[in-house]
Amino acid sequence: MHLTHSLALVSLATSTLAFQIPNSNRPSTKHTPSSDDKTTNPTVRDIFQFPDNGSFVDNVVVRPDGTLLLTRIDVPEVWSVDPRTGSGTLAYSFAQQSSDITAVFGITEVEHDVFAVVAGKFTLEGFAAEQGSFGVWRLDFNDDGNYDVLEVPNSWSGEEFSLSKNTPSAVSKIVDIPEAKALGASTLYKPNDEARYLLISDSPDGMIWRVDVDSGEYAAALQDESMLPAPNAPPMGVNGIHVVGEYLHYVSVTKKEYRRVKIDEMANAAGPFELITTEINPDSFDITDDGTAYFATNPENTIVKYTPEGKIENFAGGKNSTVLPGPTCCALDRKGQTLYVGTNGGLMAPVGGTYKEPGKIAAISL
Q: Is the pLDDT of residue 358 over 60?
A: yes
Q: Is the pLDDT of residue 7 over 50?
A: no
Higher pLDDT, 151 or 240: 240
pLDDT in tens, 66-115: 999 999 999 999 999 999 999 999 999 999 999 999 999 999 999 999 99
In the chain, how many domains are there? 1
Q: Is the pLDDT of residue 1 over 70?
A: no
Q: What is the DSSP letter of 22?
A: P
Domain range holding 143?
Answer: 2-365
Residue 119's CATH number? 2.120.10.30
- Residues in contact with 361: Cβ distance below 8 Å, sequence separation at least 6, in sequence order: 46, 47, 48, 49, 57, 60, 68, 70, 81, 83, 88, 340, 341, 342, 343
- Nearest partner of 135 among 96, 183, 78, 95, judged by Cα: 183
pLDDT in tens, 275-333: 999 999 999 999 999 999 999 999 999 999 999 999 999 999 999 999 999 999 999 99
Number of Cβ within a 10 Å radius of residue 308? 10
- Helix, strand counts (H, E) of the chain: 1, 30
* pTM of the predicted model as reported, rounded to 2 decimal places: 0.86
The letter for the amino acid at 141 is F
Percent share of the chain, pLDDT over 90: 80
| The predicted structure's pLDDT at residue 42 | 80
